[in-house]
């Protein structure tokens, strides 16, 4: 017996995405080679392997939201690990999870290429793998859940170009501080941003792929570039809020005033506060709650031996790609506050109270 289930993921700015998930009656799904029972049903264990903690979203949002949704869906054990941006460590964590007999693995890879060996090991034991947030570069994936990552870069680039055009700086010099070279998403962010910036009159004087998304390394690189280009820069494309914070710290230390236009991504609380204060122009808000909860639903369905189908196909894998949203000072109330991602009290601490009042955030 088969039935069709519609899962609705509420997105920022009121957008709603319908995701079709096809559910089939559970089979015994047992592996006859001594591996895990991939259709163990309620009581099964589900591995959640996240890549790092330098980006605050993973521990503050992804993990608790995923765990809460799984708990809501039934009695399942979560086997959790964070790799601290170490691909070898993530490999060990995956091997440990498989040795514990997990039924499903939700994996956000440190290194998209290296993670293929994890997928292959899981497949050999009959354990389906959900590629979470970052697309693993191969292997037999059961599902892929993320955002339209090239569109993230396009939105960043478009916001940057339009702001500079409005300010009369549309032909100035910019730096590009990209993400980690081992993160497949970073490649897509960069491609999306270049697709817009390269078609403008802006001049990219230098760019940097930031190892491990390290704010410290972003700061160090930007500081070095400022000795040559500091007086002429009109913008810094920063791929996420961590690298944006590093770039801004470097410019503050060099007494750059006013600061050039700076982009970001992830809607970290510190970035929202920098936007309120005028230090950062924009960030990208991604509805992590929708992403984490859908991952939990897919993982539970797979643990129960159900088939799942996505709304799109990415490299032969059923997938869901959620919509990213640009946040500037003008729509903070309509996005991160309206969605309950942050409260006004979270944003408008004493240091930012006056800036919040001036921006109408209250």
Instruction: List the domains of the chain with CATH numbers.
Output: 2-141+288-323 (3.40.50.2300), 149-286 (3.40.50.2300)
Beta-strand (E) ranges in the chain?
2-10, 16-24, 45-50, 77-82, 104-107, 129-132, 143-147, 173-178, 203-209, 233-238, 261-262, 283-285, 312-314, 317-322, 325-327
Provide the H-helix boundaries in 76-148: 87-99, 116-124
Q: How many CB atoms lie within 10 A of CB 98?
A: 20
pLDDT of residue 56: 84
Assess whether pLDDT exceeds 50 at residue 34: no
pLDDT of residue 40: 63
Spatial strand order of the sheet with 143-147 comes to 77-82, 45-50, 104-107, 129-132, 143-147, 317-322, 312-314
Model's pTM, two decimal places?
A: 0.82
Average pLDDT over all residues of the chain = 90
Assess whether pLDDT exceeds 80 at residue 24: no
pLDDT of residue 27: 35
Assess whether pLDDT exceeds 50 at residue 18: no
* Whole-number Å distance between alpha carbons of 133 and 109: 9
Q: Say if residues 213 and 243 touch (Cβ distance below 8 Å).
A: yes
Interhelix angle 241-253/215-229, nearest 10 degrees: 40
pLDDT (tens digit, 9 = 90+) per residue, 71-98? 999 999 999 999 999 999 999 999 999 9
Assess whether pLDDT exceeds 80 at residue 324: yes
The band of 58, judged by pLDDT with boundaries at 50, 70 and 90, is: very high
Assess whether pLDDT exceeds 90 at residue 13: no
């Amino acid at each position: 017996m088969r039935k069709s289930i519609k899962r609705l993921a509420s997105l920022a700015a009121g957008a709603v995405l319908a995701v079709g998930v096809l559910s089939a009656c559970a089979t015994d799904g047992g592996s006859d080679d001594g591996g895990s029972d991939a259709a163990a049903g309620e009581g099964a264990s589900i591995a959640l392997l996240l890549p790092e903690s330098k980006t605050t979203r993973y521990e503050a949002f992804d993990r608790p939201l995923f765990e809460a949704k799984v708990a809501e869906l039934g009695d399942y054990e979560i086997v959790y690990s964070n790799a601290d941006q170490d691909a070898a460590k993530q490999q060990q964590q995956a091997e440990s999870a498989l040795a514990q007999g997990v039924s499903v693995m939700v994996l956000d890879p440190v290194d998209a290429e290296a993670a293929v060996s994890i997928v292959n090991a899981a497949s050999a034991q009959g354990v389906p793998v959900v590629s979470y947030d970052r697309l693993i570069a191969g292997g037999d994936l059961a599902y892929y859940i993320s955002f339209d990552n090239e569109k993230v870069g396009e939105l960043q680039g478009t916001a940057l170009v339009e702001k500079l055009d409005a300010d009369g700086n549309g032909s100035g010099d910019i730096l590009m501080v990209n993400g980690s070279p081992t993160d497949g998403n970073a490649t897509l962010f960069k491609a999306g941003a270049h697709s817009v910036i390269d078609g403008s009159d802006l001049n990219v004087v230098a760019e940097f792929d930031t190892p491990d998304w390290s704010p410290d390394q972003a700061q160090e690189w930007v500081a070095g570039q400022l000795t040559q280009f500091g007086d002429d820069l009109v913008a810094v494309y920063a791929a996420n809020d961590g690298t944006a914070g590093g770039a801004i710290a470097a410019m503050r230390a060099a007494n750059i005033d006013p600061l050039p236009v700076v982009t970001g991504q992830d809607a970290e609380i510190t970035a929202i506060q920098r936007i309120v204060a005028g230090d950062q122009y924009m960030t990208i808000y991604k509805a992590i709650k929708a992403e984490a909860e859908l991952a939990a639903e897919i993982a539970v369905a797979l643990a129960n031996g159900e088939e799942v189908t996505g709304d799109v196909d990415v490299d032969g894998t059923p997938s869901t790609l959620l919509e990213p949203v640009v946040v500037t000072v003008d729509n903070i109330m309509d996005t991160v506050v309206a969605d309950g991602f942050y409260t006004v009290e979270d944003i408008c601490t004493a240091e930012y109270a006056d800036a919040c009042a001036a921006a109408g955030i209250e």
